[in-house]
Amino acid sequence: MMFSPEKPPSGTLRDWIDARAEDGGTAFVFPGGGNSLTWDELRTIAAGIAGSMTALGIAHGESVAIMQPNGRAAVEALFGALYGGFRVVMINLVAGQDAICYALEHSDCRFAFVGDGQMELFEKVSSGQIERLDLNAGASAPLHLVSANDHALLMYTSGTTGRPKGVVHTQSSLLAGGWTTSMAHVLTPSDRGLCVLPIYHINGLCVTVMSALVSGGSLAMCEKFSATRFWDHAGISRATWFSVVPTIISHLLHSEIDPKPETKSQLRFGRSASSALSPDVQTAFETRFGVPIIETMGLTETAAQILSNPLPPGTRKIGSPGVAVGNEVSILSSNLTPMPPGKEGEIAIRGPNVMLEYLKNPEATRDTFSSDGWLRTGDLGRQDAEGYVFVTGRLKELIIKGGENIAPREIDEALYSHPDVIEAAAFSCPCNSYGERVEAAVKMRASSVVSALDLQKICEERLGKFKCPDQIYFLDELPKGPSGKIQRLKLRERFSTSPDSSIASIAQRKNG
């Protein structure tokens, strides 16, 4: 089966796995250790696992959890469950016991694939009520019939504003997630991606794993990101592209390690998503390493990618995640009507990669979709005359100081303009005078002697005094979700004590 730039993939995941097996070639390599997999080997293993699961009495479309880090075992479990027509529940291994317990209970999981290193966690969260599955195929039974509209993936959101929501993707929308990436980046069977993001997050799962399946290429999968080994992994695996997040780009930029010339020459591009990439960081990265970074945007609810800049020599607009590829984008007003170019509103998406629903949550599902089928992202932005979207903030993260809306991103970018800043995030705290005040947290280069006052002066020069942070906290690490996205709301929770309080922190450096 070949992917077409004109229409999304038809059929089921089983169809596409079978087709790739017939085509032959390498599917996955593991530069950190582990035997590689051809598409034919993977199909045989997946079919065996699927038959064993059916023989156990696992129903068609039933939830089956995967609690494993990136690696060959996780790939086999994932493809086995998808091949068999089951609903894969990807468990975020760093979400905390409460969130994992909720996901397992809410999804009605009776079975789980569990890595050896996750057994202690599994025993705590399963309470003996969930059976661990064996990857080694046993007794087999005829496979369930599978259709394109069947549930295929259940992935839970981070739940920063309440209980996590279970995002349901069908066989069709999951394939479409790999298709949008393949189209935007012109992926071919000769391309090999480098995956350093966890596949229990939508970026790792759809952008890299599903795009390899749809494009017919291959994937080099690392257990996790390592700043000291990233370029070596890219080189030994002969990767032609990689998908990361802005914090990883910043860490690579501040590392003393450079890729070998042959590694740089084989890389067509790097891809950034999950949160806004600072223009200063992007420019510095490309200048130093000579690898173009393609800024994109995606959501769990859209099987990852919704927007992408084109590859060189196409026009990349620094500061924009690009144009819609494979789906439609619209900027909606508060009454959910389309806004003209240049006007700010809520970014909305419609297309084949959009989720089916939030599991067991019809109210949240209804609130997320407009009457004419647009999925509301919760992100604010504007679109220029050429279709490029510029994200200006997040509805739930906007700082409203004295009635004026302040987008945290513009403060982030002012902070990132200093070369010693590795991570930065602005956030709001309650204030009796203005309702909310601006604060920020940063991670600095180890040798830096920059003070909070120095950074405040930069912000004031670029943004004016009103938007300048009242406090800047120097932290060893900023809180992040599984994708590496910095969590502003957790910073707000940590540093919001009482309105107008002068917050003291042992991590804050003295002004001056």
pLDDT tens for each residue of 421-477: 999 999 999 887 777 899 999 999 999 999 999 999 999 998 888 899 999 999 999
CB atoms within 10 A of CB 69: 15
Mean pLDDT of the chain: 91
Contact predicate 167/150, CB 8 Å = no
Output the pLDDT for position 1.
67
Single-letter amino acid, residue 102: Y
289-322 pLDDT, tens digit each: 999 999 999 999 999 999 999 999 999 998 899 9
The one-character DSSP state at 310 is: P
Output the pLDDT for position 430.
86
> Edge-to-edge strand order for the sheet containing 389-394?
328-332, 345-350, 375-383, 389-394
DSSP secondary structure of 175-208: HHHHHHHHHHTT--TT-EEEE-S-TTSHIIIIII
Output the pLDDT for position 2.
66
Which uninterrupted H or E stretch holds 132? Answer: strand 131-133
Phi, psi of 309 (to 5 degrees): -75, 155
Average pLDDT over residues 255-281: 92
354-384 pLDDT, tens digit each: 999 999 999 999 999 999 999 999 888 999 9
User: Do β-strands 269-272 and 241-244 pair in parallel, antiparallel, or remain unpaired?
Assistant: parallel
Token representation of residue 217: 């290429």
DSSP secondary structure of 396-456: TT-EEETTEEE-HHHHHHHHHTSTTEEEEEEEEEEETTTEEEEEEEEEE-TT----HHHHH
Output the pLDDT for position 510.
37
Average pLDDT over residues 202-219: 97
Which of 372, 383, 301 has its CA nearest to residue 342?
383
Token representation of residue 441: 């947290």
Domains of the chain: 13-383 (3.40.50.12780), 399-495 (3.30.300.30)
The rounded percent of the chain whose pLDDT value lies above 70 is 94
Output the pLDDT for position 97.
87
Angle at 246 between CA 242 and CA 251, to 5 degrees: 90
Which residues are 106's β-sheet partners? none
147-183 pLDDT, tens digit each: 999 999 999 986 544 578 999 999 999 999 999 999 9
Single-letter amino acid, residue 270: G
Which uninterrupted H or E stretch holds 151? Answer: strand 151-156
pLDDT at 244 over 60: yes
Sign of the C-alpha dihedral computed for residues 226, 227, 229 and 234 taken in this order: positive
CB atoms within 10 A of CB 483: 22
Sign of the C-alpha dihedral computed for residues 93, 443, 285 and 179 taken in this order: positive
- Give helix then strand counts, H and E, for the chain: 16, 25
* Selected residue with higher pLDDT from 437 and 84: 84
Return the HEC string of 58-126: CCCCCEEEEECCCCHHHHHHHHHHHHCCCEEEECCCCCCHHHHHHHHHHCCCCEEEECHHHHHHHHHHH
The pTM assigned to this predicted structure is: 0.84
Q: From CA 364, how far away is CA 167, in angstroms rounded?
A: 11
Output the pLDDT for position 506.
32
Token representation of residue 454: 């120095």
Which of 392, 428, 485 has its CA nearest to residue 197?
485
SS3 489: helix
The rounded percent of the chain whose pLDDT value lies above 90 is 78
User: Do β-strands 404-406 and 421-431 pair in parallel, antiparallel, or remain unpaired?
Assistant: unpaired
Residues in the chain: 512
Output the pLDDT for position 86.
98
pLDDT at 265 over 90: yes
Phi, psi of 351 (to 5 degrees): 170, 180
Phi, psi of 344 (to 5 degrees): -80, 140
Which of 282, 293, 251 has its CA nearest to residue 422?
251
Q: From CA 61, how far away is CA 66, in angstroms rounded?
A: 15
Contact predicate 46/28, CB 8 Å = no
Average pLDDT over residues 243-262: 93
Average pLDDT over residues 257-276: 93
Half-sphere exposure of 169 (CA within 13 A, CB side): 32
Q: From CA 308, how far away is CA 287, in angstroms rounded?
A: 21
Token representation of residue 137: 């195929």
Which uninterrupted H or E stretch holds 410? Answer: helix 408-416
Q: From CA 355, how far away is CA 374, in angstroms rounded?
A: 11
* Selected residue with higher pLDDT from 176 and 408: 176
Q: From CA 154, how far away is CA 301, in angstroms rounded?
A: 10
23-73 pLDDT, tens digit each: 999 999 999 988 999 999 999 999 999 999 999 999 999 999 999 999 999
Output the pLDDT for position 298.
92
